[in-house]
Amino acid sequence: MSVFYKEENNIGTITFDQPDSKVNVLNSATLLTLDKMLDDLKNKSLKVLIIQSAKKDIFIAGADIKEIENITEHADGKSKAQAGQRVMDKIEDLPYPTVAVIDGVALGGGCELALACRYRVMTFNDRIRIGLPEVNLGFVPGFGGTYRLPRLVGLQQALKMIVSASPINSSAAFKCGLADRLYPTVGLSERVAEFVEEIASQPNKRIFKLVALKGLPAFLEKNPLGQMVVYKETIKSIQKATKGFYPAPLKAVEVIRKTLYLPREHALDIESSAFADLAITSISKNLVSLFYLTEKYKKLTVPGAENVKPMPIAKGAVIGAGIMGGGIAQLFSDRGVWARLKDINQDAIAKGLKAAYDVYAQAMKRKKAKPYDVAAKMAMISGTVDYSGFASVDIAIEAVVENMDVKKKVFAEVSNVLSDKAILASNTSSLSVTEMARVSKDPSRVIGFHFFNPVHRMPLIEIITTEYTSQQTLVTTLDFAKKLGKTPVIVKDAPGFLVNRILLGYINEAGRLLDEGGSITSIDRFATNFGMPMGPFTLSDEVGLDVGVKVLHILETGLGPRFKPSRIFDEVLPKKLLGKKSGKGFYIHGKERVVNPEVQALVKTGAGVSEEESIERMMFVMINEAAMILQEKVVDGPDAVDIGMIMGTGFPPFRGGLLRYADSMGIDKLVEAMEKLEARFKDGRFKPCAYILDLKNQGRKFYN
Ligand code: NAI
């Protein structure tokens, strides 16, 4: 049992308390119990019914995602939604006042249950998040959320909450009318009792008014013309943000538009059909699997090191105050870790400090940070040109230029000034961490800690282990990555590690496509049409052509000729067209970005390769590389590849990840198409690697 009923002095209380779990979810069994309970309750003449949770910081976390994941038939989806809707209706129809008492997370079905109550009281608990994030999983709310939320908080606020999938805190809920009262958590039951007396004295009246809008929002809210403007603008912004790849937010708008003036029964019927339409799509299945993947990596542990406790990290050092060093120092300070920033001269340090400040300045501009907080956080970063202060840090991260000799020199020096507990990490994007470990005093405390650019925005960190890395070092670094709010993947030291190795294959293949004709913009467009956040040439301009080609050479040396830079890269590089940082690359980066005719002139005329083949080739080289990574056990499974590609490169989440995409094609088809290309190019780059052939022969997929 996970839901209990109690009655005292004519006040009923329903308490959610799922056994052996930190959270409450609305699964079929709980809904059924609740449904029966409500049949009894409807015949009572209670003063008030209270609905609450016994869990700390949780009201109800949502419907059971596992059950939704298993929906494959429309009829099943519809009936699951209807089962939830029926319960919510029964709550709404009770003949006495109902109060949801919310002191924690109320998402999806949890929020919908609260919406079905006549009143919602919340606390100042900063863990409270209430909202309808369903579109993040590729479907729309299905337990009456699209019907009740706009009626309670207004059309504009409801659309904002449902379409953005962003839950709000209790003070925002109070402001928009979603919460009727806010109380401190301490003494909550006494406050609720007072509230109950208040509402029980006028049982047939809703005693709180809707929050009144003013000005333009008020105009837009009420009249049909204004509402049309609201729908149109919402659709426009969804299309801009999702490029049409995610149907759920658009469907949510459609459902609300159709149902805003319909009676409940009819409106809910439209909602449950829309839910079922979406819940069975592969996009939704991919987004659900990504949800699980993200949860898994948030809680990632080191197998076999369950008894190793992470060491606390309060102070850090960053060596090299460039783009990355400045960004890392900013992140440290933002997360309350002291940062000692070292470079070779004061000018370089000033640049690093400015890079850190610029991140905060942006946040202040967007009203996401307050000047006094920023001042306090910036004060946690101090600059130095020597190693003073290094003896007391818990971790030092090297982010100097990508040059092995320089890095080795730094490693030898720094490992001598650190305490004998401190960890020494490198932010290298492609060089051997093992080599760096060998020149340091204690290789067991050396590890790779590879951030992505820009540090404050990119969620991924690759944690690179060598044969020397101790479990203590790995466990502590993993814990630290989580403390920094990043998603960590653990990768063995190998050329290009995980993400860059796969990504560089894609960029290089784009170069080869261009060698065969076509245009820079069309190849970029093919990639964005597929769902990549930017095309390969745009990406190459962002990263810098010098950096890209350098890494290609490192990969060529380490992994073979498939990474030999394509002709176009070899011809563009000597012209010093480095990309954004030099103002020109494949594009000219002025006020408006235009194709650089100098580079396009190097491309032979002709239509170029078709969109279909272009995508196949760019994807196949990545899939093949990822399979080799699995074969070499650089990472422990397809999950790591998919989370790495999504979090590190923005590989389209709706496709579930690179290897889920490969699975969706079918391994037989994949092998057949790759072999056809191999027969044409005969250079081995499309030759399915042993790992893929094994999958085919055993009739398996990357995921089973
Ligand atoms: P950068 O060129 O912007 O900064 C390097 C800084 O290191 C400069 O300020 C330089 O003065 C300083 N430096 C050089 N030798 C030093 C020494 N002996 N002691 C102290 N400081 C020294 O380089 P960036 O882009 O920040 O890259 C740094 C590292 O991060 C490289 O290993 C790079 O591969 C890696 N990385 C870079 C990414 C990027 O997108 N830029 C992404 C991920 C990793």
In single-letter form, the type of residue at position 623 comes to I
- Measured from the CB, is residue 344 less than 6 Å from ligand 1? yes
Q: What does DSSP say about strands 62-63 and 119-123: parallel, antiparallel, or unpaired?
A: unpaired
pLDDT, mean of residues 303-329: 96
Distance between Cα 640 and ligand 1 center (Å):
26
How confident is residue 213, by pLDDT bands cut at 50, 70 and 90? confident
- Whole-angstrom distance, CA of residue 643 vs CA of residue 297: 8
Q: Decide if pLDDT at 645 tops 70.
A: yes
Lowest mean pLDDT among 348-352, 528-532, 599-603: 599-603
- Whole-angstrom distance, CA of residue 394 vs CA of residue 421: 7
Ligand 1, pocket-test mutation among 400, 451, 491, most atoms within 8 A of CB: 400
The answer to whether residues 165 and 132 touch, using CB atoms and an 8 Å cutoff, is yes
pLDDT (tens digit per residue) in 442-469: 999 999 999 999 999 999 999 999 999 9
- Whole-angstrom distance, CA of residue 50 vs CA of residue 57: 18
* Higher per-residue confidence, 214 vs 556: 556
- Measured from the CB, is residue 324 less than 6 Å from ligand 1? yes
pLDDT (tens digit per residue) in 61-85: 999 999 999 999 999 999 999 999 9
DSSP symbol at 209? P
How confident is residue 201, by pLDDT bands cut at 50, 70 and 90? confident
CA atoms within 13 A on the CB side of 275: 32
How confident is residue 206, by pLDDT bands cut at 50, 70 and 90? low
- The CATH topology of domain 3-280 is 2-enoyl-CoA Hydratase; Chain A, domain 1 (3.90.226)
Given this model, what pLDDT does residue 211 score?
Answer: 66
For residue 365, give both structure tokens: 């501009």
CATH architecture, domain defined by 500-698:
Orthogonal Bundle (1.10)
Q: Decide if pLDDT at 210 tops 70.
A: no
Q: What are the residue ranges spanned by the domains of the chain?
A: 3-280, 315-492, 500-698
pLDDT, mean of residues 431-439: 97
- Measured from the CB, is residue 455 less than 6 Å from ligand 1? no
Given this model, what pLDDT does residue 202 score?
Answer: 78
- The CATH topology of domain 315-492 is Rossmann fold (3.40.50)
Given this model, what pLDDT does residue 212 score?
Answer: 74
For residue 248, give both structure tokens: 């759920």
- Whole-angstrom distance, CA of residue 653 vs CA of residue 531: 9
Given this model, what pLDDT does residue 214 score?
Answer: 83
- Measured from the CB, is residue 323 less than 6 Å from ligand 1? yes
How confident is residue 538, by pLDDT bands cut at 50, 70 and 90? very high
Percent of the chain with pLDDT over 70: 99
Long-range contacts of residues 93-97, Cβ cutoff 8 Å, at least 24 apart: 93/42, 94/38, 94/41, 94/42, 94/49, 95/42, 95/45, 96/45, 96/46, 96/47, 96/48, 96/49, 96/203, 97/48, 97/49, 97/199, 97/200, 97/203
* Residues classed as catalytic: 462
How confident is residue 215, by pLDDT bands cut at 50, 70 and 90? confident
Distance between Cα 324 and ligand 1 center (Å):
6
The answer to whether residues 500 and 620 touch, using CB atoms and an 8 Å cutoff, is no
Alpha-carbon dihedral 29, 35, 41, 46, rounded to 10 degrees: 90
Ligand 1, pocket-test mutation among 349, 384, 398, 429, most atoms within 8 A of CB: 429
Q: What is the mean pLDDT of the chain?
A: 96
The answer to whether residues 152 and 90 touch, using CB atoms and an 8 Å cutoff, is no
Alpha-carbon dihedral 158, 162, 168, 171, rounded to 10 degrees: 10
Given this model, what pLDDT does residue 31 score?
Answer: 97
How confident is residue 205, by pLDDT bands cut at 50, 70 and 90? low
Distance between Cα 420 and ligand 1 center (Å):
25
For residue 234, give both structure tokens: 């919402």
Return the bridge partners of 315, or none: 338
* Higher per-residue confidence, 205 vs 394: 394
Q: What does DSSP say about strands 119-123 and 446-451: parallel, antiparallel, or unpaired?
A: unpaired
Given this model, what pLDDT does residue 551 score?
Answer: 93
pTM for the model:
0.93
Q: Decide if pLDDT at 209 tops 60.
A: no
In single-letter form, the type of residue at position 483 comes to K
- Whole-angstrom distance, CA of residue 256 vs CA of residue 155: 8
pLDDT (tens digit per residue) in 360-387: 999 999 999 999 999 999 999 999 999 9
pLDDT, mean of residues 49-58: 97
For residue 341, the SS3 value is strand
**What is the spatial order of strands in the sheet that 105-107 belongs to?**
58-60, 105-107, 130-131
For residue 420, the SS3 value is coil
Given this model, what pLDDT does residue 141 score?
Answer: 98
